Structure 1
Amino acid sequence: MSQVEHLDTLILGSGQGGKRLAWHLGHSGQRVAVVERQWVGGSCPAVACLPSKNEIWSARIAYLTRHAAGFGTITGPLAIDMSKVRDRKIDMIEREVALHLKAYAASGAELIMGSGRFIGPKTMEVQLNDGGTRTLSADQVVVNVGTHAAIPDVPGLRDAQPLTHIGALELDYAPAHLVVLGGGYIGIEMAQAYRRFGSRVTVIEHNERLMSREDADVSDEVLRILNAEGIDVILSAETVKVAGRSGTGVSIVLRTASGEQVIEGSDILVSAGRVPNTAGIGLEAAGIELDERGYIRVNERLQAATPGVWAIGEAAGSPHFTHVSVDDFRIVRDNMAGGNRTTSDRLIPYTMFSDPPLAHVGLSESEAHRKNIAIRVAKVPMTNVLRTFATDETQGFMKAIIGADDDRILGFTMIGAEAGEVMTTVQTAMLAGMPYQTLRDAVISHLTYAEGLGAVLSNVPALPAK
């Protein structure tokens, strides 16, 4: 074993929360090191959030160009250069890497590229990517190792070398027929993007509807949008076996209510959940406990059972969103400084970057029913929002969840253009504790999508007479 180097704080993984903590502690004068196996800024800028939205935007440009004639712009024959699509994404990633390296240098935090494994309490051995080994220990340790795509235990699936979201963003061609296993958020984003790049696309979902955590009207609207773009969706389908190899030809045998059927495709993309990256990194040697799903066991302060050990992001069981990892950083930062910040009171929004996007914050209608929370529901189609008269972006709806016994906004869902931006307005009102009437009667700029909030909140049923 190499000589042990002692640090103030050692962070395994350079994801959103971990790198921000490293930069903060480095600027504060601590000796900090981040051990990262592969991606300088973590998965978000390298293979996940930014790259996927980059390619989704390229796909939107292709879609708008195909439909330009309806707006008075006449184009010639359309061709998609997937190499250019990929190169645009790579250029963005390279800019992100440069920004990250600059931030590390400015903070004084050290970035160590290598594979880390705990060999004892708060002690780690790092196999450096360029050769050699370092042994590090620290007063405080933070685990920020994220998750990876799950590959279901279906006969032949692993042998087919399926794409995950990482591989799908590296293709320099549009598959002739892309088969997507999983009708969740990532699967839907990728399915729509590749359909717009020119692929035939089939989505296979084992549940009876897409995005089964969402309200039924949300699932139905997203299904309608996908079908309208020519995407085939097979619901309530069990994948029995897979043959062939992604990229050269695959055959997927399904069991459905109507009997067995076979789907032939050129490529297969798996989008069937996530698995924490907690195996094989020596957590047991460090005394770090896992829960029954393999996530690091932490309390509401994001502290592990071992004193001086913290966890951030998806591996800590936090909701799988980059913005949550950023908030995890704030919680750990403040608690390391003696604060008492917790995860218990967070209002967590999310956006699926389909077109139109889906955005949600707070309580859903179905969740309220499961929890026996009395609510009032207000809903309007996007055709009731005047902005859509100018843009023709009429798909989707806005839905507000209001307390049955008071006027608090408990939740909001929107499928429609700029849904994430509009949802953030409602989130702000919820954080401020505003009654819905305050937002309903606000003077909102015309002609915007947010103006539709006045329409939906005007539809809130009145409180029952006492």
Structure 2
Amino acid sequence: MATPSHYDTISIGSGEAGKYICWNRASTGKKTAVIEHKWLGGSCPNIACLPSKNVLYSADILHNSQKYASTGLLKVKGASGVDMSVVRERKRDMVNGLIEMHEGVFKNSGAELILGHGRLLDAKTVEVELKDGGKKLMTADNIIICTGSRAKIDNTPGLKEAKPLTHIEMLELDVVPTHLIILGGGYSGIEFAQAYRRFGAEVTVIERNERILRNEDEDVSSALVDILKGEGIVFHSSTSITSVRGTSGSSVTLTGAQNSQPLEISGSHLLVASGRVPNTEGNGLETVGVQLTPSGHVKVNEYLQTSVPGIFAVGDCAGSPHFTHISFDDFRIVRDFLNNPTSPPRSTKNRQVPYTLYTSPELAHVGLSEAAAKKAGIKYKLAKLPMTAFLRTRTMDATQGFAKALVSASDDAILGFTALGPRAGEMLPVVQLAMANALPYTSLSGLIITHPTMCEGLVSLFGAVPERT
């Protein structure tokens, strides 16, 4: 085999953290390469975050047009339902644009893009089975494992044989299911549930746990579920499925039990959204001694170093919270470590993990929940306001939901914030900035914020925090 090419940094996978690490180091004159076998730019621009939000937005447009047509505000004639092929093409056009953007960044950054499957041969050597045939041998001072994760399909009898949809296939549907059954009441399942209900499908969500969105405070998950029930979505919690028969896309029947009572549900399509597993097989990790956790993720320290010096793991495969913005922070941690390994300024310890569920209304959160604070024995003061107090919601006919803030009982620091309301995710950075800089809650309650905006409601919310005794 030919003499291998040597690089400063190689990323196996072109996801958020891996590509940014290589782009950044290439911009400083380092020789870098990114190996990608399928999704250029990772899952986010192709099959996850951005495409799903594109589809959700199409569902919002349809929902609002129908809502206001019924009031007489819009005069819609001769139109009913939705053409899913148009929804799909709108999504595909966006994805194609994002791929072109990534190709342009690679071209301009100086980072080499290699299409193929990368596999470790030793701690410094990667072999690539090239997409167009042949193999390429590469060595590097630093190797980044950025292989992501995939939908989990468990071993329930008949489930795999039913050829269920995952989020990937859901984004390519060109028909509205007659009855969509969703296994899993987490973020992805809930977002698709609302979107396809708005497209016109009958939708049933099945969750094995006692509550939908079980990691949220009960008042939060209950409020959102009530809103979704109001749109016609059916929920079955505390439900176990023991067998599946039929084929998704034509007819499928799930058999099991809810609270120990027999349950059977039939539908036309089945979506599995019950968790994810890391892509850590077939990359040679075991060959070089990279340790894995019991869940199959790459074992890393606070600087995302693996058990093998010079090899890092980032994003989903490293067990980082499954958000693109967290993967971007993984990039910053590795970037800063490589630039200053003796005193790296960033790590995964105590970092903020904000997130937004893109239902309508949105659910946004950062910091401690009430349940987490109680479990940890942390004393707090609570402020809670309905969305009607956020006056902008009245202009949008979107007053469902509420916001709440947890403040330290001892020093007035903001411990956590949750909002269930329109554009709730856009309010997070204001609260995060105060939290990151250890500012008291009064730094928000005393702000002058433009009226009428959603963030204006933060003044009222934090103004409602009980004074410290």
For residues 33-112 of structure 1, the aligned pairs below 5 Å read 33-69=33-69, 70=71, 72-76=73-77, 77-112=79-114
Match of 2:216 among 214, 226, 250: 214
Query: Is the contact made by 1:385 and 1:449 (CA closer than 8 Å) also made in structure 2?
Result: yes
Aligned residue in 2 for 1:11: 11
In structure 1, how many angstroms separate the alpha carbons of the residues matched to 2:72 and 2:219? 30
For residues 347-358 of structure 1, the aligned pairs below 5 Å read 347-358=352-363
Displacement of 1:258: 5.9
Aligned residue in 1 for 2:395: 390
Query: Is the contact made by 2:123 and 2:310 (CA closer than 8 Å) also made in structure 1?
Result: no
Q: Does 1:265 align with 2:270?
A: no
Aligned residue in 1 for 2:20: 20
Question: How well do the aligned residues superpose, as a CA RMSD in angstroms?
Answer: 1.2
Q: Does 1:407 align with 2:407?
A: no
SS in 2 for 1:40: coil
Aligned residue in 2 for 1:158: 160
Gaps (5+ residues) in structure 2? none
In structure 1, how many angstroms separate the alpha carbons of the residues matched to 2:43 and 2:399? 34
CA deviation string 1:315-373 (max 9, x = no partner): 11111100011011111011101151211131120001011110000111000011111
Displacement of 1:196: 0.8
Q: 1:97 to 1:160 in 2, by over 3 A?
A: same
Gaps (5+ residues) in structure 1? none
Query: Is the contact made by 1:104 and 1:110 (CA closer than 8 Å) also made in structure 2?
Result: yes
Q: Which amino acid aligns with 2:347?
A: T
Q: Does 1:457 align with 2:454?
A: no
Query: Is the contact made by 1:2 and 1:133 (CA closer than 8 Å) also made in structure 2?
Result: no
Quote the sequence identity (%): 48
SS in 1 for 2:300: coil
In structure 2, how many angstroms separate the alpha carbons of the residues matched to 1:278 and 1:91? 31
CA deviation string 1:72-111 (max 9, x = no partner): 2232332311101110111111111111111111111111
In structure 2, how many angstroms separate the alpha carbons of the residues matched to 1:318 and 1:18? 13
Q: Which amino acid aligns with 1:72?
A: L
In structure 2, how many angstroms separate the alpha carbons of the residues matched to 1:460 and 1:353? 27
CA deviation string 1:284-319 (max 9, x = no partner): 112211111111111111111211111111111111
Displacement of 1:71: 6.9
In structure 1, how many angstroms separate the alpha carbons of the residues matched to 2:216 and 2:350? 22
Aligned residue in 2 for 1:371: 376
In structure 1, how many angstroms separate the alpha carbons of the residues matched to 2:184 and 2:108? 42
Query: Is the contact made by 1:151 and 1:158 (CA closer than 8 Å) also made in structure 2?
Result: yes
Q: Does 1:255 align with 2:257?
A: yes
Query: Is the contact made by 1:19 and 1:34 (CA closer than 8 Å) also made in structure 2?
Result: yes
Displacement of 1:389: 2.1
Displacement of 1:52: 0.3
SS in 2 for 1:415: strand
Q: Which stretch has the larger CA shift, 121-130 or 328-337?
A: 121-130
In structure 2, how many angstroms separate the alpha carbons of the residues matched to 1:74 and 1:454? 39
Aligned residue in 2 for 1:275: 277
> TM-score under structure 1 normalisation?
0.97
Q: Which amino acid aligns with 1:217?
A: D
Q: Which stretch has the larger CA shift, 356-365 or 112-121?
A: 112-121
Query: Is the contact made by 1:378 and 1:399 (CA closer than 8 Å) also made in structure 2?
Result: yes
In structure 2, how many angstroms separate the alpha carbons of the residues matched to 1:437 and 1:4? 60
Displacement of 1:3: 4.0
CA deviation string 1:19-43 (max 9, x = no partner): 1111111111111111111011111
In structure 2, how many angstroms separate the alpha carbons of the residues matched to 1:230 and 1:170? 24
In structure 2, how many angstroms separate the alpha carbons of the residues matched to 1:244 and 1:311? 40
Aligned residue in 2 for 1:439: 444
SS in 2 for 1:302: coil
Match of 1:141 among 134, 143, 161: 143
